[in-house]
Amino acid sequence: MLIQLNQKQIKLQNELQEYFESLITPALRAELNEPEHFEGGGPEFKKAMRTMGSDGWIGLSWKKEFGGKELSPIEQYIFVETVMRTGFPFPFLTTESVGPMIAEHGSAWAKEEIATKILKGELIFGIGYSEPNSGTDLASLQTKAIKQTDGYLINGQKMWTSLANFSDYIWLATRTDFEAKNHKGISMFIVPTDDPGFSMSAINTLGDVRTNATFYDNIHIPENHLVGELNQGWSLITSQLNLERLALVNHGPVEELYKDVLKTARSTKINNDQYLSDLSWVKHNFAQVHSGIEALKLICWKQTWIMESGQLNMAEASVAKVYGSEFFIEAYRLMMEIMGELSILKNNSELTILNARLERMYRTASILTFGGGTNEVQRDIIAMAGLLMPRTR
Amino acid sequence: MDFSELSHQTEIRDSLDKILNEYCSQERLKEYDSNFKHDENLLSLLSTNGFLGLGLNEKYGGSGEDLYDLGILFERLGYHAAPLSLSGCLVDVAQTIQKFSNEESCNEILSSIIAGEVYTSAILEPSNQDPENPITTAKMEDNQLIISGTKYLSEITSIAKSLLISVNSDEGVLLVLVDSDQVQLTELTSTANSPLFKVELDSVRVNRESIIHEKGRGLEALRYLIQINMVMRSYIALGVTEKMTSLIAGYTSEREQFGRVIGTFQAVSHKAADCFIELECLRLVNQQASINLNSNLDCENEALVSKIWAGNACHKISYSAQHLHGGMGVDKDYVLWRYCLLAKECELINGSSSQNIDRLGKNLTTNQ
């Protein structure tokens, strides 16, 4: 057993830190501070993605045939962790969860055209799972793909299609067999957003993160846009979600925030000879956050290590998701308590601290307890796969 | 990065389970519910099978210095609620001597511990929140130390050959081995009926040679002892909570109400899932702390994190287990109740979660 990064990996971490310092230019920072670009999608963002791609960073653990470097998932995790620490809205769902599924199960066209371009930082995906009447019960989805002589005809509506406003494609779950029950009869497609049948309307959220309702009106796509076997899409969805769950709870950003809050507390004078960090309750909050981050880091490292040897275990991916998402909420609260009233000041206000990161983060925190598979379902999975208890109903 | 157990570690776990399954049956454990909780037959069997040499160097007859091996022993002792209290002997005495004593003491003491001789420690003091700063004192007189003070929660002291004691002196903190016939013992009655003692030292005289470490390294040795004790006791907590969680899964998968097993109710399965998550976290922070202690004598923050998780997991999982078992959980004819007592002992010895959060918070805000 060895639970630490090796010398090479620490070197990689340092190298990446330096790399991002030069990659994230003032112009990019300024763009990312514009509300419509919080999640990326602007010209500077696109430029940075392509630079990361051509510098070979996005696909560290990917196979060489796609342009990757065939390093381990640990190196891949370090890359994502480090880029996320910078606050850059890295589209990790595209690169860490949809991308690997396409690389493994896509058609020859998809492997060549899509997977390789994801690694070059040229493509962004939105994920089309939820529908107005299908959320947690995803298998009840109604969006249809009907077989034609030369491909499929797609009709339907998706909800919460984040990033669709600047995505090139949607990773779309459709029903292809209308007789089959539940999880059978679902197929996965790559759907281009430049099709005239594709449209969307914005949904503005509490965290000022834009998401979208997306509409698919008689979109015709060729056969090679099907990923995996026809009617066998459910296993792709669950595999993608396992990868997504791990990527969602990466420990980098919360640890970075913790460090910054600690630094701020240690330099904030509360009277002539005392700093904020001298108060015992402040110390307690830091200790709570720190011991929580330690567990999260180890959960993520272990998951990543498991990926090296094969498939993610369902129970453990769900542990990561439940623990991480609920810990984030608690951690933001504890850190906002430390900074007190100052932490409710917004980014454009005077006296704002830490670029109002706390003020934004707490508003986005709730998404993770239900997004990526609601925590109730995750707990069902843990009880079933981890504790071998009977299926709940 | 490698989270896998080596094959010899899985073997340790399996063969320990074989022995402990037999020695920790309900009938046998019952015998220790009110009697002195120490199974000497089990101890000598562990010795014969080499388990008392876990975490000790081969040159003293041990099986290698990996502390994770030793962690497995404590985890399994906890899992089976074994009537053995060995952290004073195998952790405090053996590990501290291995790291801080000369070759001669190592040869003598470690090989006798491996052979089954009982040693113990007496570190904690009533009304002292800071074990790194003992109230017990040693005065220097010629080549002798004269030790006075009161220790408590010392394990199996009545059958120990000697005790490792922490004292303050003009030379700072010292760790001293004292023969057990030189101290006055009072057996304490505690929640899990563990064999714990109050130890009084009234001007006990020992030779300077009884100090186990080089001059000037006493505080370092004591800090190491405290940290490794925390981590190894957290492994007991891991075993205890692992057993409780598996009892939850088993019981709720069989018990039927409203015509179905209660594990099919989300309210039940989700409480169980939360125990599983807590347990996973505890396992990981323990692993990190024990592995870091292999190569670094001072891992205070990692040890504190593991102790904090242990305290919280013991509390949460114990009450979830009792609740989900209904009346069975408190019935002394069922297995769970002993684990609930052990959980409280694990939670509080070496400081509560709140106390250790306080300590960790101080470290985080000042030391870096």
| pLDDT tens string A51-80 | 999 999 999 999 999 999 999 999 999 999
- What is the helix (H) or strand (E) element at residue B201, kind and residue range? strand B196-207
Q: What is the SS3 string spanning chain A?
A: CECCCCHHHHHHHHHHHHHHHHHCCHHHHHHHCCHHHCCCCCHHHHHHHHHHHHCCCCCCCCCHHHCCCCCCHHHHHHHHHHHHHCCCCCCHHHHHHHHHHHHHHCCHHHHHHHHHHHHCCCCCEEEECCECCECCCHHHCCCEEEEECCEEEEEEEECCCCCHHHCCEEEEEEECCCCCCCCCCEEEEEEECCCCCEEEEEEECCCCCEEEEEEEEEEEECHHHEECCCCEHHHHHHHHHHHHHHHHCCCHHHHHHHHHHHHHHHHCEEECCEEHHHCHHHHHHHHHHHHHHHHHHHHHHHHHHHHHHCCCCHHHHHHHHHHHHHHHHHHHHHHHHHHHHHHHCCCCCCCCCHHHHHHHHHHHCCHHHHCCCCHHHHHHHHHHHHCCCCCCC
User: Chain B interface, mutation test: which of A289, A294, A301, A337, most B Cβ atoms within 10 Å?
Assistant: A294
Who among A278, A304, A380 is closest to B269 (CB)?
A380
Residue B34 to residue B194: CA distance in whole angstroms:
10
List of chain B residues whose C-beta atoms are within 8 Å of the C-beta of residue A267: none
Does residue A312 carry a pLDDT above 80?
Answer: no
Supply the pLDDT for residue A245. Answer: 84
List of chain A residues whose C-beta atoms are within 8 Å of the C-beta of residue B265: 392
Among chain A residues, CA nearest to B305: A291
CA distance B156 to chain A (A): 32
Who among B68, B245, B358 is closest to A280 (CB)?
B358
User: Chain A interface, mutation test: which of B12, B280, B312, most A Cβ atoms within 10 Å?
Assistant: B280
Q: At what angle do helices A280-309 and A252-267 cross, to 10 degrees?
A: 160
Q: What is the SS3 string spanning B301-348?
A: HHHHHHHHHHHHHHHHHHHHHHHHHHHHHHCCCCCHHHHHHHHHHHHH
Single-letter code of the amino acid located at A162: S
Who among B261, B309, B357 is closest to A295 (CB)?
B309
Who among B246, B277, B364 is closest to A322 (CB)?
B277
Residue A340 to residue B339: CA distance in whole angstroms:
41
Name residue, tokens 């009447």: A133
Residue A152 to residue A175: CA distance in whole angstroms:
11
Q: Could B266 and A5 be called an inter-chain contact, meaning their C-beta atoms sit closer than 8 Å?
A: no
Range 373-392 of A in CB contact (< 8 A) with B = 376, 378-380, 382-384, 386-392
Does residue A392 carry a pLDDT above 90?
Answer: no
List of chain A residues whose C-beta atoms are within 8 Å of the C-beta of residue B362: 283
Whether B364 contacts chain A with CB within 8 A: yes
Residue B307 to residue B311: CA distance in whole angstroms:
6
Query: Percentage of chain A with pLDDT > 90?
Result: 88
CA distance B348 to chain A (A): 18
Instruction: Dump the DSSP string for B169-192.
Output: ETTEEEEEEEEGGGSEEEEEP-TT
CA distance A308 to chain B (A): 10
CA distance B196 to chain A (A): 30
Q: At what angle do helices B300-325 and A280-309 cross, to 10 degrees?
A: 80
CA distance A298 to chain B (A): 6
Range 267-286 of A in CB contact (< 8 A) with B = 277-278, 280, 282-286
CA distance A382 to chain B (A): 6
Range 171-230 of B in CB contact (< 8 A) with A = none
Q: Could A284 and B308 be called an inter-chain contact, meaning their C-beta atoms sit closer than 8 Å?
A: no
- Say which DSSP state B66 is in: -
Does residue B255 carry a pLDDT above 80?
Answer: yes
Residue A356 to residue A375: CA distance in whole angstroms:
28
Whether A331 contacts chain B with CB within 8 A: no
What average pLDDT does this structure show over B253-277? 97
Whether B65 contacts chain A with CB within 8 A: no
Q: Could B284 and A298 be called an inter-chain contact, meaning their C-beta atoms sit closer than 8 Å?
A: yes
In sequence order, what are the residues at sequence separation of 6 or more whose Cβ sits closer than 8 angstroms to the Cβ of residue A163? Answer: A39, A40, A41, A91, A93, A94, A124, A125, A126
Would residue A326 show up in a list of annotated catalytic residues for this protein? Answer: no
Residue B126 to residue B78: CA distance in whole angstroms:
25
Residue A96 to residue A77: CA distance in whole angstroms:
9
Q: Is the dihedral of CA B76, B81, B84, B85 positive or negative?
A: positive
Supply the pLDDT for residue A182. Answer: 79
Contacts across the A-B interface (CB distance below 8 Å):
153
Supply the pLDDT for residue A223. Answer: 97
Q: Quick one: pLDDT band at residue A216, thresholds 50, 70, 90? A: very high
What average pLDDT does this structure show over B58-64? 96
Mean pLDDT, chain A, rounded, equals: 95
Among chain A residues, CA nearest to B304: A291
Among chain A residues, CA nearest to B362: A283
Q: Quick one: pLDDT band at residue A355, thresholds 50, 70, 90? A: confident
Nearest CA-CA partner of A243 in A62, A85, A372:
A372
CA distance A321 to chain B (A): 10
Does residue A256 carry a pLDDT above 70?
Answer: yes
> How many CB atoms neighbour CB A150 within 10 A?
9
Nearest CA-CA partner of A318 in B74, B280, B205:
B280
Q: Quick one: pLDDT band at residue B367, thresholds 50, 70, 90? A: low
At B93-119, the pLDDT tens digits run 999 999 999 999 999 999 999 999 999
Do residues B252 and B91 make contact, with C-beta atoms less than 8 angstroms apart? no
- Compute the CA torsion angle B101, B104, B107, B108 (nearest 10 deg): -100
Who among B3, B266, B309 is closest to A305 (CB)?
B3
What average pLDDT does this structure show over B265-270? 97
Residue A255 to residue A290: CA distance in whole angstroms:
8
Supply the pLDDT for residue A347. Answer: 84
Do residues A142 and A131 make contact, with C-beta atoms less than 8 angstroms apart? yes
Whether A310 contacts chain B with CB within 8 A: no
Among chain B residues, CA nearest to A319: B277
Who among B266, B272, B309 is closest to A291 (CB)?
B309
Supply the pLDDT for residue A181. Answer: 83
Residue A22 to residue A51: CA distance in whole angstroms:
11
Range 248-267 of A in CB contact (< 8 A) with B = 262, 265-266
Does residue A166 carry a pLDDT above 90?
Answer: yes
Who among A283, A386, A391 is closest to B358 (CB)?
A283
Range 181-240 of A in CB contact (< 8 A) with B = none
Cα-to-chain-centroid distance, residue B6: 23
Query: Percentage of chain B with pLDDT > 70?
Result: 99
Residue B242 to residue B236: CA distance in whole angstroms:
10
Residue B230 to residue B73: CA distance in whole angstroms:
15
Nearest CA-CA partner of A391 in B4, B273, B240:
B273
Mean pLDDT, chain B, rounded, equals: 97
Residue A325 to residue A300: CA distance in whole angstroms:
13
What is the rounded end-to-end Cα distance, in angstroms, of chain A? Answer: 39
Whether A294 contacts chain B with CB within 8 A: yes
Whether B267 contacts chain A with CB within 8 A: no
Beta strands B196-207 and B144-155 are: antiparallel
Q: Could A3 and B358 be called an inter-chain contact, meaning their C-beta atoms sit closer than 8 Å?
A: no
Who among A262, A282, A302 is closest to B3 (CB)?
A302
Who among B272, B292, B362 is closest to A283 (CB)?
B362
Residue B306 to residue B300: CA distance in whole angstroms:
10
Whether B330 contacts chain A with CB within 8 A: no
At A189-201, the pLDDT tens digits run 999 999 999 999 9
Nearest CA-CA partner of A127 in A156, A97, A107:
A97
Q: Could A305 and B1 be called an inter-chain contact, meaning their C-beta atoms sit closer than 8 Å?
A: yes
Among A244, A255, A316, A359, the one annotated catalytic? A244
Instruction: Please state the φ and ψ torsions of residue B120, each to the nearest 5 degrees.
Output: -155, 180
Nearest CA-CA partner of A249 in A138, A136, A334, A371:
A371
Calculate ∠ Cα A77-A81-A85, nearest 5°. 175
Does residue B205 carry a pLDDT above 90?
Answer: yes
Whether A30 contacts chain B with CB within 8 A: no
Supply the pLDDT for residue A35. Answer: 85
Whether B117 contacts chain A with CB within 8 A: no
Whether B148 contacts chain A with CB within 8 A: no
Supply the pLDDT for residue A309. Answer: 80
Q: Quick one: pLDDT band at residue A246, thresholds 50, 70, 90? A: confident
Q: Could A299 and B280 be called an inter-chain contact, meaning their C-beta atoms sit closer than 8 Å?
A: yes
CA distance A81 to chain B (A): 16
